[in-house]
Amino acid sequence: MTNWFARPILHVRDVEASLRFYVDQLGFSNPWRYEADGRVHVAEVDRQGCALILADSWPEKIGKGVIFISLNVEPATREAAVAALDALRAELETRDVSVQEGSWGYRLLVVNDPDGNQLFFNYPNEK
Q: Residue 107: which of 90, 92, 87, 126 has the closest Cα?
A: 126
Q: Residue 97 has what pLDDT?
A: 98
Residue 119: CB atoms within 10 A of its CB come to 22
For residue 4, being part of any structural domain is answered with no
For residue 53, being part of any structural domain is answered with yes
For residue 1, being part of any structural domain is answered with no
For residue 19, being part of any structural domain is answered with yes
Q: Domain of 108?
A: 9-122
The count of domains in the chain is 1
For residue 2, being part of any structural domain is answered with no
List the CATH number of the domain containing 111: 3.10.180.10
For residue 3, being part of any structural domain is answered with no
Rg for the chain (alpha carbons), in Å?
Answer: 15
Average pLDDT by stretches of 10, the chain with 127 residues: 91 98 98 97 96 97 95 85 93 97 91 98 67
For residue 47, being part of any structural domain is answered with yes
pTM for this structure? 0.92
Q: Residue 72 has what pLDDT?
A: 86
